[in-house]
Amino acid sequence: MVDKVEAQKNLESLQSDLKHLAALNHLNSRWEFKAHCRKRMDDIEQQIKNIKSVLKK
C-alpha cells in the first residue's frame, strides 16, 4: 500500500495536471483532442477521489 506521504504527493501532482488541462483553450481544437482531454480529466478526477478516500482512512 502507498504511504500517506507518497499519496499526498500524487494527489498534488494530479490536481496540478487537472488544473493545467482545465486551463487549456479548446476553442480551435479538434473534437478528438477535446474528447481526449475530457477523458483524461475524468480519469484524473477519479484518481483524486480514490486517493482522498484512502487518505481519510
Tell me how far CA of residue 23 lies from CA of 11, 16, 57, in angstroms. Answer: 18, 11, 32
Number of C-beta neighbours around residue 10 at 10 A: 14
Q: What is the pLDDT of residue 56?
A: 87
Cα–Cα distance list, 32 to 18, 24, 26, 42, 45 (Å): 18, 14, 11, 15, 20
Residue 2 has pLDDT above 70, yes or no: no
Per-residue model confidence as pLDDT tens digits over 4-48: 899 999 999 999 999 999 998 888 889 999 999 999 999 999 999
Cell of 33: 483532442
Looking at residue 27, its pLDDT comes to: 86
The span from the CA of 51 to the CA of 20, in Å, is 19
Which pLDDT score, from 0 to 100, does residue 43 have?
98
Segments making up each domain of the chain, as ranges = 1-8+27-57
